[in-house]
């Protein structure tokens, strides 16, 4: 896939198979290279905090979604960016994916790669899953920075009852829609333009190609169709009051699936844990791709506020 310079692909084994992830490696990110007047031991003895970047769902999603953001933190933090099960370079089990599949494998990733509480930076439905993992296992998390965390059935507005979700539940039709309407260059670009970005002129060829390569991985349709059918949706408002981890939320004002009014209602249900709610004007579902520099700046601003 598309791997930033100075990063390598590694993997762990979860209960559903191999989960690939990307992390910084080599001299490019070594702190001692930045200073000649301090001995290497000064830096070697200072363990870096960990930031974990979790991508959202949609045709062709993968850790690429965060690839314009996480390199900015590699010199100061230990950075991990996984492809979730069913996406990117991770295994794609042939199954109907359920919510529990992602709650379990996300937890397993943190348990296997992190030795103490860390900051998770997550997007959309995955951000909602991360809230549930943090509720069940608060010891794994130091703080959360979440982009448009939504269960897509919040406050009783059930996406799975929508016309499109019902169409995708028809056998054969679902595979046809995926192969012709999602896993193609035109399908990817159309989805990004209409559903993910506020400004289509911010989409460039590399983004389309990265999503296309992920969407065309063998058996990639299983996770994508489970998402589109609504199998993974839930009402986050029923859970969010139980969250105790310090949290900041960023919400694109033109987020197509769930508007910022839903985000504010969710944040208001737990003001003790959710300490920041930041709406971004003229941006869609993925500011980390649409406005990466702004997203980097907000993450840098929120980290000391939460930690």
The string of pLDDT tens digits covering residues 201-217 is 999 999 999 999 999 99
Residue 283 neighbours by CB under 8 Å, 6+ apart: 198, 252, 253, 254, 290, 291, 294
Q: What is residue 159's predicted lDDT score, i.e. its pLDDT?
A: 65
Residues of the chain with pLDDT under 70: 1, 31-46, 159-174
CATH code linked to domain 7-306: 3.40.50.1820
The CA distance from 277 to 270, in Å, is 11
Model confidence pTM above 0.75: yes
How do the domains of the chain map onto residue ranges? Answer: 7-306
User: H or E element: which one contains 52?
Assistant: strand 50-54
From residue 85, give the alpha-carbon distance in Å to each of 177, 252, 301.
22, 26, 31
Residue 14 neighbours by CB under 8 Å, 6+ apart: 85, 104, 105, 108, 109, 112
Q: What is residue 72's predicted lDDT score, i.e. its pLDDT?
A: 97
- Both tokens of 277, joined, read 């709610």
């Amino acid at each position: 896939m598309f791997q930033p310079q100075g990063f390598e692909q590694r993997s762990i084994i979860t209960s559903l198979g191999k989960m690939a992830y990307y992390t910084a490696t080599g001299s490019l990110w070594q702190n001692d290279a930045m200073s000649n007047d301090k001995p290497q031991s000064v830096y070697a003895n200072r363990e870096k905090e960990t930031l974990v970047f979790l991508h959202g769902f949609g045709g062709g999603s993968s850790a690429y979604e965060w690839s314009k953001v996480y390199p900015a933190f590699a010199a100061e933090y230990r950075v991990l960016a996984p492809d979730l099960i069913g996406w990117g370079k991770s295994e794609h089990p042939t199954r109907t994916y359920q919510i529990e599949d992602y709650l379990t494998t996300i937890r397993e990733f943190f348990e296997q790669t992190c030795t103490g509480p860390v900051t998770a930076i997550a997007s959309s439905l995955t951000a909602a899953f991360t809230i549930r993992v943090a509720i069940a296992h608060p010891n794994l998390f130091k703080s959360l920075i979440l982009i448009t965390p939504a269960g897509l059935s919040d406050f009783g507005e059930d996406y799975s009852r929508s016309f499109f979700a019902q169409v995708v539940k028809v056998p054969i039709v679902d595979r046809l829609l995926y192969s012709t309407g999602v896993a193609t260059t035109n399908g990817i670009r159309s989805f990004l333009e209409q559903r993910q970005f506020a400004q289509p002129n911010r989409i460039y060829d590399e983004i389309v190609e990265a999503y296309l390569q992920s969407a065309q991985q063998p058996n990639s349709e299983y996770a994508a169709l489970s998402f589109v059918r609504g199998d993974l949706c839930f009402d986050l408002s029923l859970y969010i009051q139980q969250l105790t981890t310090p949290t900041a939320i960023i919400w694109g004002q033109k987020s197509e699936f769930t508007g910022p009014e839903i985000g504010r209602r969710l944040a208001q249900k737990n003001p003790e844990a959710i300490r920041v709610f930041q709406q971004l004007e003229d941006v869609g579902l993925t500011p980390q791709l649409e406005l990466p520099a702004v997203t980097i700046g907000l993450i840098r601003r929120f980290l000391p506020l939460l930690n």
